[in-house]
Structure 1
Amino acid sequence: MTERVFNFAAGPSMLPEEVLQRAGSEIMNYHGTGMSVMEMSHRSPMFQKIFDHTKHQFIEMMHVPDTHEVLFMQGGGSTQFSCVPLNFISASGKADYAVTGNFSGIAAKEAKKYGSIHLSYDGTQEGFTRIPSQKELQLDPEASYFHYCANNTIYGTEWQYVPDTGNVPLVCDMSSDITSRIVDISRYALIYAGAQKNMAPAGVTVVIIRKDMAGHELPITPLMMNYETMIKKDSMYNTPPCWQIYMLGLTMDWLASQGGVEGMEKKKHAKAQLLYDALENSTLFHLHAAKDSRSDMNVTFRTGSDELDQKFVTQAAEQGLVSLKGHRLTGGMRASIYNAMPLEGAEKLRDFILQFDKENR
């Protein structure tokens, strides 16, 4: 296949074609330097300009207030499962976690190494089919923080509201829906997100931290996992992931051209609704997530037959609709429709769903 496909992978995922084209044109000789960004010293004036531009664009796109700092860290979102308790749990030695999927469950398990963890909600028994209501959250007013994952890629659920935790600092893993919607950053003590779904290739993790939350780390906190270290050195205590930061900047430029997060929020819902409508009106397919908890980023569905599921994935790939196989924990299918997925891709998948339903009912 010589043409580009519509890649529905959960991450690493599609990047905007305009971003790839621009990166390709600059990869051998960035702005007359005679070298690639991948070869550039992170201490050079040229890379400092790249870094500053990326950070500025991200702050502008996400409307980050002056009360918060933006960090570019390494280790993926999974490393933040340790960073958060190491830096925040000292206030009371306790923390609240809402477990609505695989990754929030892993985060809670990791945090138990550093303090007393209370599960404000645990959706394990229900198979993670929904997001809890505010009333269902069992909150500890003495918790050092409350942690949740905004969007669950495996199960296709997404929080449709921001939890009200009173005076308890709010921490959120936004790895799979950051930059896809408007977020009131002021409500959060910390937001973290791996880049490989909506922002850049894997290798950089964006952290948005309220400045007064830094400097309270446990004594055992490793140097490179200490938010205070990263703030003081503006994310450059050691060599940062230069290429990924550059790519993140290109994606933020593209996002600005698309109307920012405001424009993206409208587009993402339109794409998701196309697929949900087709699946709901079919006779063959079943959706995993409860209607009021459905994700606009990851649409999870199945036929009820492993054989038919595999047939769907295989035939879809033949039509340039790839990486639709569901996660091993759920089976079935998963269509990840992040920011870079054009409406055309969602429409083509919608048409294939309708065709497959007609031919296999």
Structure 2
Amino acid sequence: MKKHNFNAGPSILPQEVIEKAAQAVLDFNGSGLSILSISHRTKDFDEVMDTADKLFRELLDIPENYKILFLGGGASTQFFEVAANFLGKKAGYVNTGVWSKKAIKEAKRYGEVEVLATSEDKNFTYIPKGFAIPADLDYLHITTNNTIYGTEYHEDIDSPVPLIADMSSDILSRPVDVKKYAMIYGGAQKNLAPAGVTFAIVRDDMLEKIVRDLPTMVNYRTHAENNSMFNTPPVFPIYVLAETLKWAKKIGGVQELYRRNVEKADLLYAE
């Protein structure tokens, strides 16, 4: 009988993606080398990176004025990197659970953090709405899906300041209007790949707003200017991510994934 994984960590990937990844571990593209052993400075891997970028853009309709970065460190690293890059004076956060609280804690190291809304009064069982967003914020940060508490943003909110979202656990699960966001980031292990690669979709103008002198690897501009190849990227997870995006396109893209997710959710909640 097929087994299912209901844990909140790395998800079960499509079977055909797992099979392709297993073959690539033995022999990548007929090169005689494992995907685990190749140089990231090869034509074959350049094609993997190009494919991942192209399909991400296609599936989420990401405009050309956004960079797609493939980084290490998980979303937990992004909690402080977002603030290190963009928090000059004050940022707004919406507190919807464990991951939001961790992001808030890290951001406070770099400037003033104003919690604009919270659902902590009811143990994070709802998404706050109708709160004021001050115009003087450097950015507004939200967590779109709160795996521990089961709450999710079902629509893309409007914000008068740059909107940054942690979409670790719901990326590609529903259509997203990327243009409403200054940055979207997340650990890829929930929906796209094994743990080890983090995606960051960053609007170009944000790269000109980096507020402080940073260590090279923490600066988003470093990775944008080097197509995520400033140092050795997480080669195998990026390869699997590209194969997952191929699979998603083949079955009908984000709209089909969304249809399936609604169907599964309806089945669960009806029961």
8 Å Cα contact 2:157/2:180 also seen in 1: no
Once the two structures are TM-superposed, the CA of residue 218 in structure 1 deviates from its matched residue by 3.6
Q: Determine the C-alpha separation between the residues in 1 that align with 2:2 and 2:30.
A: 29
Q: Does the aligned pair in 1 maintain the 2:85–2:212 contact within 8 Å? A: no
The superposition leaves residues 115-154 of structure 1 with CA deviations (integer Å, 9 ceiling, x where unpaired) of: 1100011222210010112x1x232210000000000000
AA partner of residue 78 (structure 1): S
Determine if the alignment matches structure 1 residue 212 to structure 2 residue 205: yes
TM-score scaled by length of structure 2: 0.97
Q: CA deviation at 1:26?
A: 2.7
Shift of 1:89: 1.4
Question: Unpaired runs of 5+ in structure 1?
Answer: 279-361
Partner residue of 1:72?
70
CA offsets, 1:305-324, max 9 Å, x none? xxxxxxxxxxxxxxxxxxxx
**Aligned residue in 1 for 2:132:** 138
Structure 1 residue matching 2:39: 3-state secondary structure = coil
Which residue in the other structure is 1:113 paired with? Answer: 109
| C-alpha RMSD of the superposition | 1.1
Give the drift of 1:229. Answer: 0.6
Question: Which residue matches 1:32?
Answer: 30
**Structure 2: 5+ residue runs without aligned partners?**
none
Q: Which residue is equivalent to 1:184?
A: 177
In structure 1, the residue matched to 2:4 is: 6
- Secondary structure of the 1:31 match is coil
5 Å matches for 1:232-251? 232-251=225-244
For residue 58 of structure 1, what is the amino acid of its counterpart?
A: F
**Which residue matches 1:154?**
148
Of residues 67, 71, 93, the one that matches 1:97 is: 93
Which of the pair has more CA radius of gyration? Answer: 1
Q: How does 1:1-361 map to 2 (within 5 A)?
A: 4-90=2-88, 93-133=89-129, 135=130, 137-166=131-160, 168-278=161-271
* Equivalent pair of 2:126/2:151 in contact (CA under 8 Å): yes
Q: Supply the AA of the counterpart residue of 2:159.
A: T
Asked if structure 1 preserves the Cα contact closer than 8 Å seen for 2:29 and 2:44, the reply is: no
1:267 match: secondary structure: helix
Deviation at 1:202, TM superposition (A): 0.5
Aligned residues: 271
- TM-score w.r.t. length of structure 1: 0.73
Indicate if the aligned counterparts of 1:8 and 1:14 stay in contact, CA closer than 8 A.
no
Letter in 2 for 1:198: N
> 2: CA distance between counterparts of 1:21 and 1:145?
41
Contact 2:158–2:180, Cα closer than 8 Å, also in 1: no
